[in-house]
Copies of this chain bind each other. A is one copy, B any other.
Amino acid sequence: MKRTNYAGLIDETYLDQTVTLQGWVQKRRDFGGLIFVDLRDREGLVQLAFSEELSLNALHVAEKMRAEYVVEIQGVVKERVAGQENNKLKSGKIEIQVTEAIILAEAQTPPFEIDNADNVSDEMRLKYRYLDLRRPEMQQNLLTRSKITAATHEFLDANGFIDIETPILAKSTPEGARDYLVPSRIYPGSFYALPQSPQLFKQLLMGAGFDRYYQVARAFRDEDLRGDRQPEFTQLDVEMSFMTQDEIMALVNDWVKAIMSKTVGYDLDVTTIPTLDYADSMRRFGTDKPDMRFDMELQDLSDLMADAEFGVFANAIKNGGQVKAIVVPSAADKYSRKDIDKLAQYIERFGAKGLAWLKVTDEGITGPIAKFLTAKADALLSTTGATSGDLILFAADQAEVVAATLDALRRMTAKELDLIDESKWAFAWVVNWPLFDYQAEEDRWISAHHPFTMPNEEDLPLLDTVEGAHQAHAQSYDLVLNGYELGSGSIRIHRMDVQEKMLAALGFTKEAAHNAFGFLLEGMSYGFPPMGGIALGLDRLAMLLAGRDNIREVIAFPKNSKATEPMTEAPLPVAQVQVVDELGLTAPVYAENSAPNMAEA
């Protein structure tokens, strides 16, 4: 029989129609001679009713049904008995009175219930991913992701972008994260690398004159994993020639508007998207990815506190640092000393050496450091605008520590106090980034974005010296949504001389630069156009639009925190013979505790 409808989409508009449905048994209730079954498909649930009057055969089939059996039924859409309606379901007012039923596949009892899997461990969910994915929430997550790519294809196709695939078996290049390597069988000792992005290829495609390129591109990084990282991830990658930063940002705005409309039905007014200078974003929010769904901006008290009696503040300024604060509104009552100690402990990871705080009461400021700041109290309250009932949290240290600390405290307290309007979609552009970033731990300068980022036009002369280059700013633009970096874009260097200076400022000798990027540098000598682009992180975008807090929720078969995939158990030891003989590599003797499991493929 051919399906006529999805179960979850049938409602009272189908009354008295005969329907054929296929799906999974979610639940069965047997009242002896009368059986109700909740039938589930990807669009939702519908109630099936079986009885002797409707069909004795079908009733007998229903008696055999168990959870997760796959069944096919035919029946008539009827109103439910009054009082039996379920308003949570689209199909809640009707039921299917079944006249024919077949069991297409039986099922053993699953390791967890599909409609009650909230407390199942992540590892179990991944091991039985095909069951986990049956949960309506997971179906919705992947559906949202699919709608994002569908909107992307539609928008970019309509705007003259050409979908071009770039290699997965690519070249290992320095800079960036660790590559995944693929040994070559034909050239033992040589390796392909899985690309960390299609960056160089897309620039070469602009050099080839394609004018507008896009790709839903897989990228790979062999890094240690965190909640929002995966060994492989997906970028919505675009590049275009002959366009300015502003033109590109305007096009991306329209693209994102199309995505928001198709996925969550939100009509994004792109004129409301703010553009912040990187420096302003750092100053106001302590981060380059500000969550602008709420205020609580960082307030600079350095001038006020330079001569404060409170030594921690005065010394921070004296040592070239800052004193800044956030005002947590109406939070004085809500944070006990113990709660604040927890915050203090949390911010140690950012280098903060303690957490100074004040509560504001009708009588003025209170708290352990209040007595050192009595002289500043009025100025403090008028500068920050803090009023009775507010909690003020301070950071006094070098600028980076202050920024990281107050960014974290701002997000954390806003979340704890439920100050964030979860219905908001707060996009922002952050522009005018530094070209380079100094890594104190390693005492070296790295690219703030990547080595192919074009400096601001007026900063080009700075690139004549390495020291000058490190002070330059870039034609780069990041798109932020609700405090997450959605995508990172820039105008690219298209001139060989500029690119060589850029690589020199990163510490490449001319020879090393040409060894690593010779094909690109040579390409630029044959007439490359001005170009720019952006890559949006699909995983993170899908996570945000699906309303989840981990990208694993929007990936069908993600890796766990050990970069393994519990269902297939990849990676696996491969027969030694293949490694040694075919690839010319010697793998360490397989040790039981070094591999995720014992099976040899």
A185 touches B222 (CB 8 A): yes
Q: In the complex, A519 Cα to B586 Cα: how many Å?
A: 29
Question: What residue of chain B has the Cβ atom nearest to residue A138's Cβ?
Answer: B208
Q: Mark contacts of A79-117 with chain B using CB atoms, 8 A cut-off: 1 yes-contact digit, 0 otherwise.
A: 000000000000000000000000011111010000000
Distance from A249 Cβ to chain B, minimum over Cβ atoms (Å): 14
Q: In the complex, A409 Cα to B82 Cα: how many Å?
A: 75
Instruction: Determine the chain B residues whose CB is within 8 A of the CB of A201 once the complex forms.
Output: 556-557
Contact partner of A601 (CB less than 8 A), chosen from B108, B171, B571, B574, is B171
Distance from A323 Cβ to chain B, minimum over Cβ atoms (Å): 43
Distance from A254 Cβ to chain B, minimum over Cβ atoms (Å): 16
Of the four ranges (under 10, 10 to 19, 20 to 34, 35 or more), the interface on chain A belongs to: 35 or more
Tell yes or no: A168 within 8 A of B by CB.
Answer: yes
Tell yes or no: A440 within 8 A of B by CB.
Answer: no
Instruction: Determine the chain B residues whose CB is within 8 A of the CB of A336 once the complex forms.
Output: none
Tell yes or no: A255 within 8 A of B by CB.
Answer: no
Tell yes or no: A508 within 8 A of B by CB.
Answer: no
Q: Give the interface segment out of A191-199, A326-334, A473-481.
A: A191-199
Distance from A285 Cβ to chain B, minimum over Cβ atoms (Å): 33
Instruction: Determine the chain B residues whose CB is within 8 A of the CB of A190 once the complex forms.
Output: 571-574, 594-596
A182 touches B208 (CB 8 A): no
Contact partner of A70 (CB less than 8 A), chosen from B194, B208, B529, B590, is B529
B574 touches A130 (CB 8 A): no
Instruction: Determine the chain B residues whose CB is within 8 A of the CB of A528 once the complex forms.
Output: 70, 105
Tell yes or no: A231 within 8 A of B by CB.
Answer: yes
Tell yes or no: A465 within 8 A of B by CB.
Answer: no
Question: What residue of chain B has the Cβ atom nearest to residue A109's Cβ?
Answer: B526
Q: In the complex, A118 Cα to B163 Cα: how many Å?
A: 26
Within 8 A of B (CB), among A197-246: 200-201, 204-205, 207-211, 216, 218, 220, 222, 231-232, 234, 241-242
Within 8 A of B (CB), among A233-278: 234, 241-242, 247
Instruction: Determine the chain B residues whose CB is within 8 A of the CB of A191 once the complex forms.
Output: 571-574, 579
Q: Mark contacts of A173-199 with chain B using CB atoms, 8 A cut-off: 1 yes-contact digit, 0 otherwise.
A: 110001011111111111111100000
Known: A167-B557, A170-B570, A189-B587. 16 other contacts (CB 8 A): A68-B527, A104-B530, A107-B525, A130-B204, A154-B154, A166-B556, A168-B194, A171-B572, A172-B574, A174-B601, A180-B182, A183-B585, A190-B571, A190-B572, A191-B573, A519-B569
Instruction: Identify 23 residue pairs between A and B in the complex whose beta-carbon atoms are under 8 Å apart, listed by A's number.
Output: A6-B211, A22-B241, A41-B209, A68-B526, A105-B495, A129-B208, A130-B523, A133-B208, A154-B154, A169-B565, A170-B565, A172-B572, A181-B574, A183-B587, A184-B563, A185-B222, A186-B564, A188-B588, A190-B573, A191-B574, A201-B557, A515-B601, A585-B588
